[in-house]
Structure 1
Amino acid sequence: MIAEDDDLTQDEKQDEARPRAERPRPKKRDVHGWIVLDKPIGMTSTHAVAVVKRLFNARKAGHAGTLDPLASGLLPIALGEATKTVPFVMDGRKAYAFTVAWGAETDTDDAEGRVTAIHDMRPERVAIEALLPRFTGAIMQVPPRFSAIKIAGERAYDLARDGENIELAPRPVHIDRLTLVSHTGDRTLFEAECGKGTYVRAIARDLGRALGCLGHVSALRRTRVGPFRLDHAVVVERLQELGKAAEPEAALATALLPVATALGDIPALAVSRADAARLMRGQSVLLRGRDAPVMEGWVSVSTNGALIAVGEIELGELHPRRIFNLPR
């Protein structure tokens, strides 16, 4: 098939004729904001970030919390100045819908792993529900052997893949809610809301052991990460469609959420232009006067509706911790 290139300029025709490695690369752009990707099963988080970064031709990108290839759902991807807000998203609450397959335990605690033990017993719904209070609130949890926990500077999953027999210490985690949604005998669908550091795979493993029938996660979908929820999400195919629009930069911009969206879980503080100028120079500001806010801790700081910084209030003084260089 012969390509129709009548609309190409002479320079563009020369570029098309060059080997791909020799073609000029488009200049990277300063893009700022969040893409809340509905990651499909089978895609790694690293690949997802690369796809989004390439579509936007963005200089800088990162994600707020790895989602395993087996899992689907929310993967918030920060572009440009939004990368400065990633820790606030990762520290937020998370929600999952996950299915536990009973009767087998795996070395990864999910369906990708090697089966290490089996049992022919299957739990009754009433028995499962009776156990759920033991797995809510503040609990101690042993992370999966195949996890990103570091042991003497090495990732646990690297050591496990090398065949090393590793022992991970229990860690405190907080599970706000664990609900049984449906039960079919061999499999049970749950919903969970939990804090940072909680492993859903460990919940499945420990439930299976407590019930005496063993279990592992067979499906997992993340439905919330901090302030981001499913109604914020966009699929890869939609982003690719936008990237093919007549004006792709403008079309893709419609999928971007503002940088400040990530800070929805911390208080907001408006300051004067004079105080904003001091903060932008890295200087602290004393909050005084009759209308001064009475608060402590992290705040998002804006002036005239524009985000300028994330700061920390200590003893009535506002200290800038991260300053944003956003277009105004």
Structure 2
Amino acid sequence: MFYLIWKEKGESSFSAISKFRRENDIKKIGHTGTLDPLADGLLIVATDRDTKWIPYIDNSLKQYYVEATLGYSTTTYDSEGEIVNSSNKKVNLDNVIQVINSIPKQFEQVAPKYSARKINGKRAYALARQGIDFEIKPNTVQIESISNLKFDFENQVIKFDVLVSKGTYIRSLVHEIGLRLETFATMTHLTRTKLGKLDKDKLGIIPLRELLEIPILTLDKESINTIHNGIKTKLNIEDGIYVYKDDESIIGVIEVQNGIVKLKKRILLNKE
């Protein structure tokens, strides 16, 4: 089964998932992505055989509520790191709006050195803690929207909602905002409020069909049997990756090339 759970601020994603596993007596558990300990918000977890579906889950867009405090930056780009830069410069709302509007929808972003990004098989944060110097290659990210912008002038805190593509580091976005304002910025609050189409109102069990990012194809039993038996099967549909099912259950994943079906993964769920 799939569950949408809430991670509290201050606990690691591993702790939140392990706690959920113990409380529900689950043997095997997996997840579609984690959150930093500083953050709270939504996590999707899969249990037992359903963990095999994780690569096919729609996890492409994520929404966050962010608070960024101006005037200083840290080693980690958030409030848990050591302060490395500071500035007494004050900015106003017009400055903030101008900079937010200047951020492109798509750009190359460099992850923080204190991140889970892998460098030659090792986590970046592990290398950073050892004092090892290294470079992180930029990753193309998408900023779909920045909305509900508010600015606390007295405390120099920017508050906003942001909808981003998978792989976007909000800490790096906040750092970039500080540089564009010709000062420094640190992420001081982060809440993941949306995962794909799911928000906090959906906490609990989530049907698989609500999570899949690829089309679902219903096949008759004869076609399913020929596919499972490795017999060449033709379908008059567009090439691509499909989840296939019978009248009752989702079964697995096929790939169609030039009308020919190739079985990619057979899982066979009892229920959708």
What is the Cα deviation at residue 283 of structure 1? 6.0
Verify the 8 A CA contact 2:250 2:268 in the aligned structure 1: no
Whether 2:37 is the aligned partner of 1:94: answer no
For residue 74 of structure 2, the aligned residue among 106, 116, 140 is: 106
Provide the C-alpha distance between the structure 2 equivalents of 1:117 and 1:284, rounded to a whole number of angstroms. 64
Q: Which has the higher helix share?
A: 1
Summarize the Cα distance change of 1:204–1:261 in structure 2 as closer, same or farther, 3 Å threshold.
same
Determine the C-alpha separation between the residues in 1 that align with 2:193 and 2:138: 26
Greater strand share, structure number: 2
CA RMSD of aligned residues (A): 1.9
User: CA separation of 1:257/1:283 partners in 2, compared to 1, >3 Å: closer, same or farther?
Assistant: farther
- TM-score scaled by length of structure 2: 0.91
- CA offsets 1:253-298 (integer angstroms, 9 cap, x no match): xx422333321x322211111222344456663103xxxx3x2322
TM-score normalized by structure 1? 0.76
Describe how 1:76-91 pairs up with structure 2 within 5 A: 76-89=44-57, 91=59
Cα distance in 2, alignment partners of residues 81 and 68 from structure 1 = 27
- Match in the other structure for 2:222: 274
Taking the aligned partners of 2:231 and 2:173, their CA distance within structure 1 comes to 46
Summarize the Cα distance change of 1:146–1:102 in structure 2 as closer, same or farther, 3 Å threshold.
same
Task: Decide which of 199, 208, 231 is 2:169's aligned counterpart.
Answer: 199
- The equivalent position to 2:117 in structure 1, one of 149, 173, 196, is 149
Equivalent residue number for residue 286 of structure 1: 234
In 2, are the aligned partners of 1:280 and 1:308 still within 8 Å (CA)? no
* SS of residue in 2 equivalent to 1:167: coil
What's the CA shift for 1:83? Answer: 1.1
Change (3 A) 1:114 1:41: same
Q: Which runs of 5+ in 1 are unaligned?
A: 1-32, 234-254
SS at match of 1:256: strand
Given the superposition, is the C-alpha separation of residues 296 and 227 from structure 1 closer, same or farther in structure 2, using an over 3 Å criterion? farther
C-alpha separation between the residues in 1 aligned to 2:91 and 2:106? 25
Counterpart position of 2:191: 221
- Name the % identity: 28
Task: Output the CA distance in 2 between the equivalents of 1:74 and 1:146.
Answer: 22
Give the Å deviation of 1:115: 0.7
Shift of the 94–68 alpha-carbon distance from structure 1 to 2, 3 Å rule, reads same
Change beyond 3 A, Cα 1:316–1:279: same
Q: Which of 104, 115, 118 is equivalent to 1:136?
A: 104
The equivalent position to 1:55 in structure 2, one of 10, 23, 47, is 23
Q: In structure 1, which of residues 127, 142, 158 is the aligned counterpart of residue 126 of structure 2?
A: 158
CA distance in 1, matches of 2:37, 2:182: 29
The answer to whether the Cα contact below 8 Å between 1:62 and 1:77 also exists between their aligned partners in 2 is: yes
| Residue 188 of structure 1: aligned partner | 158
Structure 2: unaligned runs, 5 residues or longer: none
Cα shift at 1:58: 1.8
> Residues 177-218 of structure 1: CA distance to partner in whole angstroms, max 9, x if unpaired?
123521112111111111121100000001101101210110
Q: Which residue of the partner structure matches residue 321 of structure 1?
A: 264
